[in-house]
Amino acid sequence: ESYDPNIPPGERTFATYELSFESLQTFFNTPTATTTPKTLSTTYSSTSLVYGNMFDVIGKNYVIVYGMNVHIADTENHNVEVYLRRNSGSFMNVQRHPTAWSLIGDISIQGDDGAGMPTSIPFGSFDPVTIVPGVSQGFYVTLTDGKFMGQTQSQISTGQVYESNNDLSITVGVGKDYLFGNKYDAAVFNGEILYFVDEAKLASLEASSASSTSRRPYLENSLLPA
């Protein structure tokens, strides 16, 4: 099924994004404003190593997350799993509840340059995730074979915003043992969120607003006495 920008983000399901790698590659290589990739980074200055992290991405715009970079402390091969909080919502109250999560990616990766450098989760490894303004979307990114993922202890409380731009925010999360195991509070996911802004949705909203404004004089005049 191909990407349809006319489907409002709030009505998209995972079925909407059952795309082949080739179709995604064609879509993202199209030189339009809709497909300009953007990133939001946290840090690669880790203070400890864990299996993985849970954290929230909060929408401030209509965005679609299509990839991530993570922090792997060596250059070996590892298996990484990406989970998404079902039906949107924060990770905060479901840290030990596997049924609240959907596995959207199970990928073999190699630490690109080791500690202090980003390692890419390959393009097309998980279905794009739509996040709308005001919604917190929980992510759980974890290795399956050991504590090789960097995280940073934060002075900011768990659940508070750690990094932000005009489109989205990343919160302070928790470190986790595999799988859905012990937690380590106030831990910052080391890495980047790769996304693009859903310009088609914004254009649709602007057009709808303009149409509503153009009809207002008629509606107001229709209320005047004859």
pLDDT band at 219; cut points 50, 70, 90: very low
Cβ–Cβ under 8 Å, residues 3 and 198? no
Q: What is the pLDDT of residues 125-164, one digit of tens each?
A: 999 999 999 999 999 999 999 999 999 999 999 999 999 9
Enter the tokens of residue 21. 């790698």
Nearest to 167 by CA among 72, 63, 67, 65: 63
The token pair that represents 183 in the structure block: 């937690």
Average pLDDT in the 52-79 region? Answer: 97
For 16, the 3-state DSSP assignment is helix
Q: What is the mean pLDDT of residues 210-222?
A: 56
Chain mean pLDDT for the chain: 84
The pTM score is: 0.79
Q: What mean pLDDT do residues 37-42 have?
A: 95
Residues with Cβ within 8 Å of 105's Cβ and at least 6 positions away in sequence, in order, are: 80, 81, 82, 121, 125, 126
Name the phi and psi angles at 210, rounded to 5. -65, -40
Closest alpha carbon to 144 in 72, 221, 80: 80
SS3 call for 43: coil
Measured CA to CA, the distance from residue 148 to residue 52 in angstroms comes to: 8
Neighbouring C-alpha atoms within 13 Å toward the C-beta of 213:
6
State how far the Cα of 191 lies from the Cα of 16, in Å rounded to an integer: 27
